[in-house]
Structure 1
Amino acid sequence: MAANTPPQIQLLYRVEPGCLGPDGKDHIEGFCAYAQQHISAPEFATYRFVPRYDKSKDEVSYTLRNKRLSLQQAEQFLAHFGSQRSDFEEHLDEQLAEAIDQFLRPS
């Protein structure tokens, strides 16, 4: 990362296998790879999609420079870019829903 490049917040999104239907567990790994390639983040963020096999882990978590952020810290970072966390996550949820539809659409 160049010295004058601002840091990017990373959103780790754990995707529930059930969102892909009853046999979602058979497709979740492929979907996460698909989502990684087809969903683009704003310039101040990066997304990482992984299966959510362990429900004790949060669905969404944020890091900055490899350090985990509290939700309040994530909100502060996003506010710096004129974004609210709820809007940021809602937009991503909409992108994920579209990606799921495309992924499940018969070829």
Structure 2
Amino acid sequence: MTKKLTILVRVEPGCLGPTGKDYVEDFCTFANPVFSRIREQALNWQLVPRYDKSLDEVELQLEGRKLTPEQAEKYLSMLDTSFTEISEDIGNKLSICIDKFFEAH
């Protein structure tokens, strides 16, 4: 498979506590390298702050185009995974990254 799927994760400032908006951008910079190692042969990860609540928390893109949920599931099935598994990976890694971020700061 030559095309990498991009998983855009919009991080809620509130998940970093009541003052999370003050350092959500630093957190995204901190967490991006950790996420980049997850299935790196097939996936590109991009963590950004979620300032606009109308945007999805997780968006899947292929060559810059947003995939529908059906398209995303089809593509993920070719990688022997599912959106549910990816979502669980995101939740677990975010938890770990939040802990490590606060330990380092």
- With normalisation by structure 1, the TM-score equals 0.90
Could you tell me which residue of structure 2 aligns to residue 14 of structure 1? 10
Distance 2:33 2:55 in 1: 24
User: Per-residue deviation at 1:41?
Assistant: 2.4
Distance (Å, rounded) in 1 between the aligned partners of 2:46 and 2:60: 10
Q: How many residues align?
A: 103
Kindly name which structure, 1 or 2, has the bigger radius of gyration based on alpha carbons: 1
Kept in 2, the 8 Å contact 1:20–1:104? The answer is no
Inter-partner Cα distance in structure 1 for 2:57 and 2:51:
10
CA distance in 2, matches of 1:87, 1:57: 21
Return the offset for 1:93.
1.3
Whichever structure has more helix as a proportion of its residues is 2
Q: Counterparts of 1:23 and 1:53 in 2: how far apart (Å)?
A: 14
> Is residue 32 of structure 2 the alignment partner of residue 36 of structure 1?
yes
Q: 3-state SS of the aligned residue for 1:74?
A: helix
Runs of at least 5 residues in structure 2 that lack an aligned partner in the other structure: none
Q: TM-score, normalised by structure 2?
A: 0.92
Which runs of structure 1 show a deviation greater than 3 angstroms over 4 or more consecutive aligned residues? Answer: none
The alpha carbon displacement at 1:106 in A equals: 5.2
Unaligned runs of 5+ in 1: none
| 2:57 alignment partner in structure 1 | 59
- Counterparts of 1:41 and 1:7, CA distance in 2: 16
- Aligned-pair RMSD on alpha carbons? 1.3
